[in-house]
A and B are shown apart, each in its own frame.
Chain A
Amino acid sequence: MTSRPEPDAAALADHVLDVVGGRADATVSVQRVSDGLTRFANSFIHQNVGDEHTLVTLELVNNGRPAAASTSMVDDASLARLVEDALTAASVRPVDPNWAGLCPPAPQHFNGVHYDPDTTAVGPDERAGVVEGFVEAGAGLESAGYCQTTTVETLLVNSLGQRVSDRTTQAIIDGIHRDGRADGCGSVATSSFADLDGYQVGSTAASRARAGTDPIELAAGRYEVVLDPRCVAYMMDFFSIYGFNARAVQEGRSFVSVGEMQMDPSVSIWDDAGDPRHFGPSYDSEGTPKARLDLVKAGLTVGVTHDRRTAARSGAASTGHAVPGGASMGALANNLFLGPSSTAGVSSEELVAGVQRGLLVSDFWYTRVLDPKTLVVTGLTRNGVFLIEDGVVGPAVSNLRFTQSPVAALAPGRVLGIGNDASLAPGGLHFSWNHAPSLRLEHWAFTGTASG
């Protein structure tokens, strides 16, 4: 057995292509990951983990019959087995009538936008320093959360000659402070570890937790709301998977109808992997280079996300949104932005000032789809809800259950204001991080209190 103790991504990929030879059309992806994550709870670090691995994925097509295989073993024998496994699988399956061919050679539009070499050198000591700042900011409050640093090097080659590569880094601090049963949250996600200020993020979380004590119970019903960026980013995962995904549209499962005014004219939604405020690679899992894609322009639905299969079905071009396993999932946007279509947005204080009676919501929790087509979802609030009266934030409110379509909530005429506080925050289905501002919405349907 010949081993490669320090596998070079390009050499690995070329080697696998060579082993496939002329027996099939092939795409080889190599992903090298170095990940470190420091978790804290009850105000101390309790789990501190790291992982390094290389993953080689082969997708090949033999006479119209595709199959895929992957391995974390990079010795010659394992790579030969990878190829034979995929060839064997392809040989016994029926022809795939939806196979859309390999990605042809195409240049990347950007590269290395989300890479910070200093972040690659960060270890558990530096992450512990960020956690220390977060915990200290609570000044005695109970804290929990994590700090993560990740470096990913990727390379994709195929037998048509497409060859793309990228390097990305991520650095995240995300946590809560707790004052009794009142939680407040804060997070920063970026490509550069130097941007993480644990104390500042912890201060935000702590002030929200302190403001959330002694909540009042509020009856269920429709309330005007100001949703923090975290709430809006949370809902954008649902847009990506159930909405703008061309496969969902083609199968009649999506609310999306291109050419219709489906959202308020003040709102635009787009996907842009090249924007430095986001993170992730510059090409998709089929090798198609990513570029900015408008999905909603001033309320008008103008686009959907395609991979090569859905694009072929629609007579369109791939938009670079293929994901691993996409033959059954479809094409997904994972660099989403929501923002004002014309004006610059206003401060969150100005959004609140316009509300006569409503709710300021910090975060959502455990939200799931009741109907994919209307995108009615149910979930709960978390990490702080506050009553707004006469434009002033008042007492904390106990958590509420909601049953609401976020599409309907953003419908024409229902967006009353957009904040200038956009930030990257986690999506509600753990699919992606999304960039979103605060939104003031005409109403949000709360269908129960957390106590019953």
Chain B
Amino acid sequence: MMDEAVAAVEAALGAGAAYADARVMLTRSEAMSAQNAEIEDMRRAESTGVGVRALIGSSWGFFAVADLSPASVRRAGERAAETAKASARVAGPALELAEVPSVVDHWESACGEEPLSVSLSEKGDLLVAVTRASLASGARLAQASYRIWDTDKAFASSQGSRISQRIRECGAEMSATAVGDSETQRRSYPGIRGQYGTQGWELVRSLDLPANAARVGEEAVALLSAPPCPEATTDLILGSEQMALQIHESVGHATELDRILGWEAAFAGTSWLDLAQMGSLRFGSELMNITADATLPGALGSFGYDDEGTPAQRVDIVRDGMWVGVLSGRDSAALAGIPAGGMVRADGHDRIPMVRMTNIGLLPGPHSLEQMVTETSDGILMDTNRSWSIDDRRLNFQFGCEIAWEIKDGRQGRMLRNPTYTGISPKFWGSMDMVGGPSELTYWGTPNCGKGQPMQIGHTGHPAVPCRFRGVRVGVR
């Protein structure tokens, strides 16, 4: 694979690129889903190819082919350079690249139990069993699925880097839906997007889907007759799964440097953050500490090197409530005058790498969920994301959860259905006064973050703990 990557880079340079890199990728994937104790879909996929990136002036040219024959690879390199040249008709300031060391290395994610080697019948039995259990507890629809990706990458750059990586990712999810006369209610486990990581099948075993199958079914049914979440301004406690979504949407995307620089303005949007304020802008309360850490073992946003060959690293994004960092790549970092963050990835050989969240997480604090409940006289506890909507500057959000409970006088009370809450990002994060502790930390994995044109689906990680926010508007419908 490395030979093809090097040949593609040389072809791009020969065609006039000032800088070029190439990734050869071989990806094997497997997915299975079940509904109501029947296997519904089972598919495997294999894809390979090379994607070549060439920088000329103000534009990247990129070209990808699946055919790895020498002539095809050379042609891809040449086409990448030709495509970059065509951009000169609508040119801007020349792009520079932040310096990164030239590296020759191999990296693999840790994997206890090879996920593609676990027998299909065992996997299928698991999905059938848990959906049968949810169904038996009264749900109308019980669904479960898993996905596995096993990816080999060879990266070569015109600056001499030669990096190979093997990354195995997998995870699973299940849900139960109860159907009423006028609405549906759903409960998911471990979360609406399941739980995924750069781990082997041991991750799926650790989720213990069977132990939770009946509960999600019962809760879905119970929600149909639960009272609705009241419309109020109150104290809000969020479980860690919903916190992962909160971090992803209102901090992760807001601090992507390509958005801040306007590169995603038409499609994904921009950011309310102004680069000139980095280091002096208060993003949230002093309990808010957010890092982008691609080195966390087993988290979904972990790797050895990003798709520009920059080593994985930990970068502070918010420290003691102050905005101090961004998610960057070599080109955006050079424009901002900061070191390259190593946060550029593509979802396949055929897509251009772009700024992507790694593991954007909230560092644990001094409290616990139990303490939050005990110390709340009047509030609501919500968990498990159900809906998500945020404006194109990542400022105004309205999120919904699958389930909520009333909190009265320090006790968790009755279940509430259709809970939602809304806020403005810095005001909301500024109201955070309790943060769960290290024992409540979960490395949530989101395998479906859409961004870019053509659309790319990113895999991101979000370490999160339960948190409490004061004076939040809830029950908006």
Contacts and interface: CB of A to CB of B under 8 A. Distances in A.
B398 A401 contact: yes
B184 interface: yes
A215 interface: no
B45 interface: yes
A176 B86 contact: no
A315 interface: no
Contacts of B424: 451-452
Nearest to B59: A45
A41 B263 contact: yes
Contacts of B71: 5
Interface in B36-72: 38-49, 58-67, 69, 71-72
B121 A448 contact: no
Given A46-B263, A328-B145, A450-B395, 16 more contacts: A42-B261, A42-B263, A48-B61, A48-B83, A49-B83, A50-B79, A67-B43, A71-B47, A92-B119, A94-B124, A123-B86, A366-B392, A370-B386, A373-B183, A401-B422, A447-B398
A252 B140 contact: yes
Interface in A220-234: none
Contacts of A305: none
A448 B398 contact: yes
Given A447-B476, A452-B424, A325 B41 contact: yes
A347 interface: no
Given A92-B121, A92-B124, A175-B266, A451 B33 contact: no
A53 B64 contact: yes
Contact of A72 (B42, B48, B120, B455): B48
B462 to A, nearest CB: 18
A250 B33 CA distance: 19
A253 B44 CA distance: 29
A89 B44 contact: yes
B48 A128 contact: no
Interface string A417-452: 000000000000010000000000000000111111
Contacts of A127: 86
Contacts of B477: 370, 376, 403, 447
B401 to A, nearest CB: 11
A346 to B, nearest CB: 30
A35 B455 CA distance: 13
B45 A70 contact: yes
Contacts of A131: 89-90
Contacts of B350: 51, 53
A448 to B, nearest CB: 6
A373 B182 contact: yes
Interface in A44-92: 44-55, 66-73, 78, 81-82, 85-86, 88-90, 92
Given A124-B86, A178-B265, A49 B46 contact: no
Contact of A73 (B39, B58, B66, B392): B66
Contact of B42 (A38, A68, A369, A373): A68
Interface stretch (A113-121, A151-159, A161-169, A378-386): A378-386
A42 B262 contact: yes
B64 A48 contact: no
A92 B418 CA distance: 40
Given A50-B64, A430-B455, A379 B389 contact: yes
Nearest to A309: B40
A313 B364 CA distance: 50
A41 B264 CA distance: 7
Interface string A92-135: 11101110000000000000000000000001110111011001
A440 B440 CA distance: 51
A131 B58 CA distance: 15
A146 interface: yes
A142 interface: yes
16 contacts: A44-B58, A44-B59, A46-B60, A51-B63, A66-B42, A124-B87, A128-B87, A144-B265, A145-B266, A146-B453, A148-B454, A176-B266, A371-B183, A380-B389, A449-B396, A451-B396
A89 B116 CA distance: 12
A3 B388 CA distance: 47
Contact of B179 (A51, A252, A369): A252
A199 interface: no
Contact of B38 (A47, A52, A67, A94): A94
Contact of B60 (A44, A48, A175): A48
A129 B87 CA distance: 9
Nearest to B80: A50
Interface centre among A45, A135, A376 (most CB of B within 10 A): A45
Most A-side CB within 10 Å, residue of B39, B83, B420, B477: B83
Contact of B65 (A37, A53, A378): A53
Interface residues of B, number: 87
Given A47-B352, A382-B392, A85 B44 contact: yes
Contacts of A70: 43-47
B450 interface: yes
B234 to A, nearest CB: 17
Most-contacted residue by chain B among A67, A132, A374 (CB, 10 A): A67
A40 B453 CA distance: 11
A47 B65 contact: no
Nearest to A82: B46
A354 interface: no
A253 B43 contact: no
A367 interface: yes
Contacts of B377: none
B82 interface: yes
Given A253-B184, A380-B391, A328 B33 contact: yes
A34 to B, nearest CB: 10
A372 B186 CA distance: 11
B400 interface: yes
B92 interface: yes
Contact of B92 (A3, A46, A97, A368): A46
Contacts of A451: 396, 424
Contacts of A81: 46
A448 B59 contact: no
Contacts of A88: 120
B390 interface: yes
Contacts of A42: 92, 261-263, 265
Contacts of B48: 72-73
A39 B48 CA distance: 25
A452 B427 contact: yes
Interface in B93-144: 95, 119-121, 124, 128, 140-141, 143
Contact of A450 (B83, B261, B396): B396
Contacts of B79: 50
Contacts of B455: 430
B391 A132 contact: no
B313 interface: no
Interface string B325-352: 0000000000000000000000000111
A318 interface: no
B387 interface: yes
Contacts of A252: 140, 179, 184
Contacts of B47: 55, 70-73
Contacts of B395: 450
Contacts of A372: 184
Nearest to A381: B391
B84 A48 contact: yes
B377 to A, nearest CB: 25
B91 interface: yes
Nearest to A52: B65
B44 A86 contact: yes
B46 A399 contact: no
